[in-house]
Structure 1
């Protein structure tokens, strides 16, 4: 049910039963229609509401702005190895120069030399750095990634996702998006 919805469509932030968002990036949002359906099917609790009311001849309710699932969904502990998750792990930055444009990925040990496509051997790279490194080993060309590649946990990806907030955050969502972030002294 997680989809991209515009702020004008009055989406509902979806929280797990522990009141944490199901995902931060993309932010777990449901259309108001899906939120109403989940309320009627008794799958969620309404945590906060918009001022907007919907009506039918026999029914009236304010649109939910935040809902929480009644049943806890355990996040996957080992995220799938996808291009998006790789970029999210590496914070959408080339691991060689820090650029955030024209991103692709690079095998530290090139495939032509037996390198595999795994979390531990692949990093985000911009096209110019990827072309420069080509099929050379990092030590041969002196190109080292800014962080050692690793298999991220769901928590790692969620933590990185929080660094990329969407353009629109409704004020009723704020208490649920960043409540577990360490406070500045």
Structure 2
């Protein structure tokens, strides 16, 4: 078990999702009294004394104020929002780029609603045109993601226990 891999759902004191923590960080938060275990994973850490249950979900005892507004607009979050998939041809992984749906040279802005993940070949094929002009279709219209979507975007499978706290997920 990789103790540094982010895989524990962290909830705020009001049970809203805050982020993911590593096993090591989650266990430390629980052991020092900063957080409570909401759900256990069924796995155990082997310690010299006795096995220690690994949490699946923890809840902080004190409210953490999160600034209002959108998530940071950056390459990593765009790739995560789009599932590391080209929004034109559906190819996953490989050499991915960020494409302006309406090109910058034609007034397209760098906003969530105008940026998509594209493979290098689709980006080159589209050139300085809109998808319609290039006769290319977007898999879906780009939108600003909800915070909880990006929390778990990199997980291959959403743990069943998390679905209660992430109702907008369809993993």
Q: TM-score, normalised by structure 2?
A: 0.71
Aligned residue number for residue 88 of structure 2: 96
SS at structure 1 position matched to 2:112: coil
SS at structure 2 position matched to 1:141: coil
Alignment equivalent of 1:46, drawn from 37, 49, 52: 37
Residues 1:63 and 2:52 aligned together: yes
Query: Equivalents in 1 of 2:153, 2:79: separation in Å?
Result: 10
1:68-110 per-position Cα deviation (integer Å, ceiling 9, x unaligned): 2113446665111111221222222111111113211111111
Aligned residue number for residue 87 of structure 1: 79
1:1-50 per-position Cα deviation (integer Å, ceiling 9, x unaligned): xxxxxx25397724314556543xxxx23343x34542353211134485
Confirm or deny: 8 A CA contact 1:13 1:29 kept in the other structure: yes
SS at structure 2 position matched to 1:149: coil
User: How many residue pairs align between the two structures?
Assistant: 159
SS at structure 2 position matched to 1:105: strand
Confirm or deny: 8 A CA contact 2:44 2:53 kept in the other structure: no
Aligned residue number for residue 133 of structure 2: 140
After the TM superposition, list the runs of 4 or more consecutive aligned residues in structure 1 that deviate by more than 6 angstroms: none
Confirm or deny: 8 A CA contact 2:102 2:130 kept in the other structure: yes
Q: TM-score, normalised by structure 1?
A: 0.66
Alignment equivalent of 2:142, drawn from 133, 140, 149: 149
Aligned residue number for residue 9 of structure 1: 3
Larger Rg, first or second structure (1 or 2):
1
Alignment equivalent of 1:178, drawn from 152, 163, 169: 163
CA gap of 1:125–1:62, structure 2 versus 1, over 3 A, is same
Query: Equivalents in 2 of 1:175, 1:20: separation in Å?
Result: 17
Q: What 5-or-longer segments of structure 2 have no aligned partner?
A: none
Q: What 5-or-longer segments of structure 1 have no aligned partner?
A: 1-6, 167-173
Query: Equivalents in 1 of 2:135, 2:124: separation in Å?
Result: 14
